[in-house]
Chain A
Amino acid sequence: MSTSPLLEIKELRIAFGRSHHSAVAVNNVSLDLGVGEVVGLVGESGSGKSLTCRSVIRMMPSSGLMTATEINFDGRDIMSLSPAQLREHRAHNVGMIFQDPFSCLDPTKRIGEQIAETLRVNAGLASATAHDRALELLRSVNIDKPEQRYRAYPHELSGGMRQRVMIAIAVSAKPKLLVADEPTTALDVTTQAQILTLIKQLRAETGMSVLLVSHDFGVIAQVCDRVAVMYGGYVVEFGPVRDICTRPQHPYTRALLESIPSMESAGRHVRRAGILGQPPSLGDVVEGCPFASRCSFATPQCRSIEMTRRTVGEGHTSACPFVGDDLVSQGAGPIGRADSTEGDAS
C-alpha cells in the first residue's frame, strides 16, 4: 500500500484543562493513511485512540485542546480550516460511525428519511432523487427489502441493521475517508463479522480509505492493512498488520497480543501472563515510556527516553529502543509475571 497518503497527522497532541495543570490524553502522535487503505488504531480504554480518530474532523470535547504541527488531508491542512470549511470537510470528506448506532439515530424519524435528509442537506439533492438514492444506499449496505426498511423506525431494527443504516448515512456523501470508532463492539460476533465484511466490501467498491478504531486486535486483524498500537496517549508501534501480529516489536504490543484469549486454548488450561499493573490514567505525569512501569524489559533509561518511533522493519516503526528480536534473544519468556495483579498499582 505505498500509494500517496490521503491523511497525514504530524505530532498531534490533545490535552484537557488549563495549561498549568493540563492532562495530556494524546501525545506526539504521527500517522499516515494511504488512499484506499484501511488503518487500524488499537489500544485499551484511555489509550487515546478515539480522540486521535476524532482529530481528523477536529471534533473535540469542549475542554479538549488539540494541537498538531500539521494534519494534512488530501492536500489541505485541517488545522487551518475556517469554521465554514471545516463543516464542508466534515460533510463531504469524512464519514463517521460510532459504537452505539442507536443513540446516533433520531428515534422519531423513519430511517429512510434520515438518510434522505442527509442527502438533501449535504449533497443538495431534490426530494425525489434523495429518496431514490437513499434506497440505493440501503441496498448497498446489504439491507434486504430496502423499500420496507425505508419506512422503519430505529427501534424496529436490530443492532446490526442500525449500524448498517449508520454506515449508509456515513458513506452517503461518498467520503474519501470512513472513520469507524468501535463500530462492532456492541454487536454479537456473527453480526460483527457481517459488518466488517461490509466495510471491506465498501472499501473495495468505492476506493475510500478507512480508519478503524477498536480495542479488539482480532477485529483489526480482519480488515486492516496497517495498524497503530496506542498506549498512554502514544502510538508505540505502527506497521503492516501481519508484521505486528506475528512479529510484534514493542513490548506492549507483545504483551497485549499474548493477553488475548484464544479458542485454541480450549481444554488446555493454559494461564496467560497478562500485564502487570494498570495503564496510566489521564492526568498522571509520565516521564519517558508510559509502559515502563508495567514492562518486564524496562531499564532505568526507559524513564527518560524520547517517545519517537524508529524503523524496525519495512514500513514498521516502534517507540521502544530495544527491538523485539533482541527481546526474544534475551530469553524472553512470557511478558509479565504469572501471579501479576493490578492490585498494588495506582
Chain B
Amino acid sequence: MSSPVADQPILVVQDVVKRFVLRRSAADWLRHRPGEIHTAVKGVSFEVARGEILGLAGGSGSGKTTLARMLIRLVEPDDGKILFRDTDVRAARGRGLREVRREIQMVFQDPYSSLNPRMRVGAAILEAGRVHHQPGAEDGDAFVTRMLDLVRLPASAATRRPQELSGGQRQRVAIARALAVGPSVLIADEAVSALDVSIQTQLLNLFLDLRDELGLSIIFVAHQLSVIAEVADRVAIMHEGAIKEIGSTADVFNDPQDDYTKTLIAAHPHPYPPAEGPSTVVSSSL
C-alpha cells in the first residue's frame, strides 16, 4: 500500500452537485427547456483521510446514497470536483475510470441482491481479483481463502452459492469480493441496515478490523445515527442534499450545533425507558 503524506487526504470532494430531471413535458422539449428539476445533492464538500472512517448520516431522500454513488461515478455528477489522490475522478475515462473504481470499492445495502445468484462465492471473489490482476490471484484457492479469512469466513464458504448463506454471511462475501480488487477506500452504503442487531455488531467490528489491518479508508453511509456513532471517526449529517454539520463523531453527537442534527439525535429511540436514565448494566463499557 503506497503511503502518501500523512495529512494529505486520500479523497477530496468539492462542491459536488447532482440534479435529476423529474418531468419534462412536450412543451418543455419544444422550447428546449430542461423540465422540472430536483437537486439531489447541492454542492457538497468534504475530505477523507487515509485510514479514516467517515460516517455519512441522513434520512431517506437526503442525498447520501446519490453522493456515495457519485464518488465512483455510478451516478454522474453535474458539477464540482472529486479528487482521488491526484486523479480527477470526473475526468477519468476507460482504464482510468476502472482504476478509480478498483481503488474505491462499494458494498451495497442488500446482501440478498448484490451477489450474482448463479455464481459460487469462490468464483465471484476470484473473478474480481483476476480482472484486476491482483497479486496472488493466479493461485485461485489460496487467494479465495485469504480473502474469506479477511472477512472471517471459513475456506469452505467458497463452494457455497449466495442463497445458501445467511444475510450476514452474504454481506461478508460482498466485502471479501470488494477487498479482492485491492481497494484503498471502501464505501459501505447502508451495509448493515438490513441485518439483525446481533449480526450488525459483528459486521461493525469487521469494518473496524479492516481499517486497522489494511489501513482502509471507509465511508460509512447509514440512516441509523447510533450505528455511525459506533464506527465513525468523523460524521457528516446530510439533509435535503446538503451537509448540515460535519465534525468529529464525539463533537457532533455530544454537542450538535445544527438544528436538524439536534432533531435527529432527539428522535433516536434508546432502549432505556424514558423516565429513567441509562443504566450501568446495558452500557457499552461492560
Contacts and interface: CB of A to CB of B under 8 A. Distances in A.
Is there any pair of Cβ atoms, one from A and one from B, under 8 angstroms apart in the complex?
A: yes
Interface of A: 44-45, 159, 188-190, 192-193, 196, 215-222, 241-242, 245-248, 254-275, 278-279, 281, 328, 333-334, 338-344, 346
A144 B225 CA distance: 29
B6 interface: no
B226 A263 contact: yes
B284 A265 contact: yes
Contacts, number: 175
Nearest to A218: B269
Contact of B272 (A219, A245, A247, A333): A245
Interface string B120-152: 000000000000000000000000000000011
Contacts of B233: 267
A266 B229 contact: yes
Contacts of B197: 44, 215, 217, 256, 259-260
Contact of A189 (B166, B254, B264): B264
Nearest to B260: A190
6 closest residue pairs by CB, A with B: A267-B250, A218-B269, A274-B201, A266-B253, A188-B59, A275-B198
A326 B282 CA distance: 16
B281 A272 contact: no
A99 to B, nearest CB: 13
B267 interface: yes
B13 interface: no
A258 B226 contact: no
B270 to A, nearest CB: 5
Interface string B191-215: 0000011111110110010000000
Nearest to B225: A263
B248 A271 contact: no
Nearest to B202: A274
A241 to B, nearest CB: 6
A191 to B, nearest CB: 8
Given A44-B196, A267-B253, A342-B202, A222 B59 contact: no
A81 B84 CA distance: 67
A341 B197 CA distance: 14
Indicate the member of A220, A261, A270, A328 with the most B CB atoms within 10 Å.
A261
Interface string B248-276: 11111110000000011111111111111
B249 A266 contact: yes
Interface string B229-254: 11001010000000000001111111
Interface residues of B, number: 60
B25 interface: no
A258 B286 contact: yes
A261 B229 contact: yes
B249 A241 contact: no
A236 to B, nearest CB: 14
A318 to B, nearest CB: 15
Contacts of A216: 269
Contacts of A254: 281
A268 B249 CA distance: 9
A270 B230 contact: yes
Nearest to B234: A267
Given A258-B282, A258-B286, A268-B250, 18 more contacts: A190-B59, A221-B270, A221-B273, A245-B271, A246-B273, A247-B281, A256-B198, A259-B198, A261-B204, A263-B226, A264-B278, A269-B208, A270-B230, A333-B286, A338-B205, A340-B202, A341-B153, A346-B165
B279 interface: yes
